[in-house]
Amino acid sequence: MKTKQYAQYSAPDSSPLIEKFINSLMKDGKKLLARRIFSEMLEVIGKREKEKNPLEVFDLALRNIMPNIEVRAKRVGGAVYQIPVEVAPKRQQTLAIRWVLANCRKGRGRPMGDRLANEVLAASKNEGSSIKKREDVHKMAQANKAYAHMARY
């Protein structure tokens, strides 16, 4: 039985954000594959954005995607209200990573590294489906700001 062996890659300087992204990208415990996909994404970004550092583009994209406010369901007197609340920094990071990966997993036909690179490049320019998701969340919170006074109950 043949086994796949992945070539060694030059691992970027690791940070908690990168490790969290790789762990979220990982499926079925295949961390080496997730790391390889992440490094492929950085290579594609490096080829397309020659004057910028790929890690800085990645960081900028995630910062652009992070939502500031979201809605939470709250039951008051038998009715369920969507109450806008501020998002904690850790949750902002988690939501941004979740949205990027969900949008990339929808697209089929291209390697995951390419799909991630396209989404990250679009998000770094405030475009793309992850940015649209953030805008939808902000619009929902804006539409329900009349219920903000119920947040303290």
pLDDT per residue as tens digits for the range 62-115: 999 999 999 999 998 899 999 999 999 999 999 999 999 999 999 888 999 999
97: amino acid identity, one letter: I
Residue 66: the pLDDT is: 97
Q: Rounded to two decimals, what is the model's pTM? A: 0.86
- pLDDT of 108 reads 85
Domain 16-67+89-140 sits in CATH at: 1.10.455.10
Domain boundaries, the chain: 16-67+89-140
pLDDT band at 149 (very low <50, low <70, confident <90, very high): confident
Structure-model confidence comparison of residues 123 and 147, the more confident one? 123
What is the model's pLDDT at position 4? 45
User: Can you tell me the mean pLDDT for 137-147?
Assistant: 93
For residue 153, the model assigns a pLDDT of: 60
Confidence band, pLDDT 50/70/90 cuts, at residue 12: low
- Give pLDDT, residue 107: 81
Q: Which pLDDT value is given to residue 76?
A: 86
Place of tokens 């970004």: 45
